[in-house]
Amino acid sequence: MSSRYTPEPSQIDYHADVQAQRVQRAMKLIDPGDVLAVIDRRIAEAPDPKAHPLYGLVLFCLDRQVAVHGGEFFDRFRQMVLAAIDTCLDDLLEMED
């Protein structure tokens, strides 16, 4: 007798597996230029220049700010990129449906 566990068919979520495969395929189709376009569009839509992610760096380069925290700077851009990738992924999956 085998001691390996085999789940019952009712315990397997086939829809989750199919969705994970769809997401993997779509991620491979995302063009970096599309992600950058989403980021550029979101930055351009911000009405306040202080909301721009490079605002602190510009002040620093103009000698109007003492320092820019590199970790926060990176984290903010990483969040923007991940949000843009999610948007592109959602768009691709919508087109597939």
Q: Domain limits at 88?
A: 31-96
User: Could you tell me if residue 18 is inside a domain?
Assistant: no
Reported residue count of the chain is 97
Q: Is residue 20 part of a domain?
A: no
Among 15-19, 23-27, 42-46, 72-76, name the one with the lowest average pLDDT. 15-19
Residue 15 inside a domain? The answer is no
pTM: 0.75
Question: Residue 4: its pLDDT value, please?
Answer: 82
* Residues 48-86: tens digit of each pLDDT: 988 888 898 999 999 998 888 889 989 999 999 999 999
Residue 90 lies in a domain: yes
- Cβ neighbors of 22 (< 8 A, separation 6 or more) are 93, 96
Write the CA distances from 13 to 25, 28, 41, 50, integer angstroms.
19, 24, 37, 46
- The answer on pLDDT for 97 being more than 80 is no
